[in-house]
Structure 1
Amino acid sequence: MSPEPHIVELDPDTKTTLKMYLYKNVQNVEAIRNNIIKGVWSCAVIKPSLILDPFQVAVAANRAVVAEKLNTMVTRTVFAEILYNLSLTKNITQSLSKFGIEKDENLLVCFLVTAERDLSSEILPLIEGEPCPITELNNFTSIKDVKSAYKLNSFKSDDGLLDVVVSRMVTKNFVSY
């Protein structure tokens, strides 16, 4: 049984769609991490504890595919670019380690799909975990970790937090926090 993806259409010029899948209690995290690092798997795997809403990932993915189309990527792959775009830092290694998977048993798996290419059906069966609906994402989110990652510890309210986080993501090239 394949889980239902959360699908977001990205910039029309890129002809790319983002498909997101949420997993919990994943048993083969180390194998997944190795496959991504070695470039065997073409997807991004994100720590769901740092994601408030799928929109946050969609913004990062959209920036990544546009950068790929314009040949302005900062990282080597469009999937690493998604992680880089989620982060406040301009340090690629820090971005990948903060938002990418390490030993977490919960994963948010993201695929970039075009008319010619959709690898999700090949990769998803290899994930040894329980698929969850994306509507359960907030059960995995750690507001404390999100505020720390985006330097918002003095932000008292959680209202409007997604807007602030996305604003910080997209302005990191112009502002230093």
Structure 2
Amino acid sequence: MSLAPYTCALDPETGTTIKIYLIKDVKNVETIRNNIINGVWKCAVIKPSLILDLFQIVVAANRAVLSEKTKSLVTKTVYSEILYNLSLSKNISQSLTKFGIEKDNSILVCFLVNDIGETEEIIKEIEGELCPLSDLSNFTNVKDIKSVYKLNNLKSDDNLLDVIVSKIVTKSFVSH
């Protein structure tokens, strides 16, 4: 059982790597929200209940860093862009509310690393229990995911991740 973060290189042109941690029983959610909203912390915090697979986050983050590189962010920061990209909504506030944390006590924390970052310091300030990422499925709510991505009529869950990723990728030019 590894508590190491999930790490993945994003588009090579950006020189960016994503690091994702899963934390449960978080006691200082309001402090975390405030630190992110006020720009004190450079990270995205995501509701794990709406994440079927980490690939979902990687795709959204890759789009975000590419948008940042081309100076075409829809939101104010690359981190809020990740949440925006995860959502089907083109309404920024709705996207941030749906995928960001509110009162949830389990969270996924996502960092974009271009160099040696402050990830470990931020993780130490989160009052909760670090979990292995293999436990993500214990936090996932497939019913909520299907609702958020408008997939309630899907007959089978076999290709659910493929459908979700396709919706994320085509968001900018298809209305779902």
Task: Report the counterpart of residue 145 of structure 1 in structure 2.
Answer: 144
Structure 1 residue 118: deviation in Å?
1.1
**Identity of counterpart residues, as a percentage?**
65
Give the residue type in structure 2 aligned to 1:113: V
Equivalent residue for 1:118? 117
Q: How far does residue 156 in structure 1 lie from its aligned partner after superposition?
A: 2.2
Contact persistence 2:88–2:171 (CA under 8 A): yes
Is the Cα–Cα contact under 8 Å of residues 150 and 165 in structure 1 kept in the other structure?
A: yes
1:157 deviates by 1.1
Deviations 1:31-70 (A, max 9, x none): 1011111111100000000000010000000000010000
Write the letter of the residue equivalent to 1:129: G
* Partner Cα distance (1:174, 1:142) in 2: 27
When normalised by structure 2's length, the TM-score is: 0.97
Counterpart of 1:49 in structure 2 is 49
Report the CA distance between 1:97 and its aligned residue.
0.2
The residue type equivalent to 1:174 in the other structure is F
Report the TM-score, using the length of structure 1 for normalisation. Answer: 0.97
Count of equivalent residues: 175
- RMSD value, Cα: 1.1
Where do residues 1-177 of structure 1 align in structure 2 (5 Å cutoff)? Answer: 3-115=3-115, 117-177=116-176
Separation of aligned partners in 1, 2:156 and 2:109 = 29
Question: Is the CA contact 2:3–2:133 (under 8 Å) kept in the aligned structure 1?
Answer: no
Q: Distance in 1 between matches of 2:44 and 2:3?
A: 17
Which residue identity is paired with 2:32?
A: I
After TM superposition, give the deviation of residue 113 of structure 1 in Å.
0.4
Q: Which runs of 5+ in 2 are unaligned?
A: none
Question: After the TM superposition, which segments of 4 or more aligned residues of structure 1 sit over 4 Å from their partners?
Answer: none
d(CA) in 2 for partners of 1:156 and 1:92?
Answer: 30
Distance apart, 1:119 and its partner CA: 1.5
1:43-101 deviations in Å (ceiling 9; x for gaps) = 00000000000100000000000100000110000000000000001110000000000
